[in-house]
Amino acid sequence: MEKKRTEIASLGEFGLIDRLTQGFDHHHSSTLCGVGDDAAVVAPSEEEETVITTETLFEGVDFDLSYFPLKHLGYKVVTVAVSDLLAMNARPRQLLISLGLSAKIPVEALDDLYEGIRFACKEQKIDLVGGDTRASMTGMVISVTAIGGVKKGQAVYRSGAKKHDLICITSNLGAAYMGLQLLEREKRVLADVANPEPQFKGYEYLLEKYLKPRPRTDILDVLEEEKILPTAMIDLSDGLASDLKQLCRASKCGARIYLERIPIARQTSELGEEMHIDPVIATLNGGEDYELLFTVPIALQEQVMRLGVVDVIGHITDEAAGCYLVTPDGGEIKLKAQGFPEE
């Protein structure tokens, strides 16, 4: 069945924005003015600090529309921004989306994208307060700004980790990276097939971790309930090695993490074996897990381990000691940030 295709130009700019932003409820009384004016207006609370982050995602670099369903992409861009707020110990409140669109994108594709954004906003009680679309010469560009709130004095920075603090992570890592490898493999394999039927059976978890990662708001709930305030926190978007190094750099400290303590999902190991990818590399350098890494004083060791939702993978050391991964046989591997070359 042919999908309906409406050209963006046929709606007009007002019509397009109206269509995309319908069905977004406001959940916060602090949202005074949302989509449709020059800017959004928010009434800050006297008990809170405001936290703001912005991220821009590029087609061809951050996502491949040939296999990334637009609904999932909409959901994921919200996670990408919200995850930065959570890493400051802040709760998401408002969202602004700014799109760059090539002429080849029909309105129906944008409907799908916004359905994903709408779903994420409903699920996480976030108010969409700004939306803007304009032409892009090439691929799709999605820019997200998220605004959150945190109780005064409770923001958690990257810079607060102290020697002997425990390093905690909130899930197994590397699964999102393996999900991406799987999608890329199927794309290559099926490039010349008329009616492609990609083989994902048994790897659904990896696909979900890559295509629709959930922001770990639940971790903030647990920590708040247990009255645990991390000394430092960062979200795992670039890979464990790079993100831990960034936290250490901000905190002027070093770190030792232990390979056997880093959880790896069964599907990650299985696909790794099948594709000859070391799951440890996926874990250290894969990125896009959108889990949280935080540090707590060693005195909280028992309490943290009782939570059942985090793994303690190592501890903070002196800055001079550097950042190392310790293997089961006692070997030490210096952690390197990936992506950009080492400085």
Positions 99 through 118 that interact with a copy of itself (CB under 8 A): 99-100
Tokens matching residue 111: 């409907």
Stretch that binds a copy of itself, among 7-15, 109-117, 169-177, 211-219 (CB under 8 A): 7-15
Q: Which of 4, 192, 194, 340 binds a copy of itself (CB under 8 A)?
A: 340
In angstroms, give the least distance from the CB of 147 to a copy of itself. 6
Q: Cβ(126)–Cβ(34) under 8 Å?
A: no
Interstrand relation of 127-135 and 91-101 (parallel, antiparallel or unpaired)? parallel
Question: Which one of 90-98, 191-199, 271-279, 283-291 is the stretch in contact with a copy of itself (CB under 8 A)?
Answer: 90-98
List, in order, residues 6 or more apart from 22 with CB less than 8 Å away: none
Q: How far apart are CB 194 and a copy of itself at their closest, in Å?
A: 28
- Nearest of 319, 310, 341 to residue 248 by alpha carbon: 319
CA angle 148, 154, 158 (to 5 degrees): 85
| By CB under 8 A, residue 323 contacts a copy of itself | no
Residue numbers 244-263 binding a copy of itself by CB under 8 A = 246, 249-250
Structure tokens at 188: 């290559």
Q: Is 139 in the site for a copy of itself (CB under 8 A)?
A: yes
Nearer to a copy of itself, 94 or 124 (CB): 94
Number of residues that bind a copy of itself (CB under 8 A): 79
Q: Does 16 bind a copy of itself (CB under 8 A)?
A: yes
| Least CB distance to a copy of itself at residue 308 (A) | 25
The answer to whether 137 contacts a copy of itself (rule: CB under 8 A) is yes
134 vs 123: CA distance, rounded Å: 28
**216 to 77, 167, 291: CA distances (angstroms):** 14, 17, 7
Which of 208, 233, 241 has its CA nearest to residue 336? 241
Q: CB of 215: closest distance to a copy of itself in angstroms? A: 12
Give the shortest CB-142-to-a copy of itself separation in angstroms. 9
User: What is the per-residue binding string for a copy of itself in 32-71, x denoting contact by CB under 8 A?
Assistant: xx--xxxxxxxxxxx-xxxxxxxxx-xxxxx---------
Task: Tally Cβ neighbours within 10 Å of residue 201.
Answer: 6
Residues 270-299 contacting a copy of itself, CB under 8 A: none
Query: Closest separation between CB of residue 30 and a copy of itself, Å?
Result: 9
At position 228, the amino acid (one-letter code) is I
Placement of tokens 């409770």 in the chain: 154
CA dist 343 and 336 (Å) reads 10
- In whole angstroms, the minimum distance from the beta carbon of 204 to a copy of itself comes to 29
With binding defined as CB under 8 A, does residue 202 bind a copy of itself? no
CA separation for the pair 260, 327 (Å, rounded): 7
Strand partners, 128: 95
Q: How far is CA 223 from the centre of its chain?
A: 19
Tell me if residue 3 falls in helix, strand or coil. coil
Site map 224..243 versus a copy of itself, x via CB under 8 A? ---------xxx--------
Give yes or no for residue 22 binding a copy of itself (CB under 8 A).
Answer: no
Is 269 a binding residue for a copy of itself by CB under 8 A? The answer is no
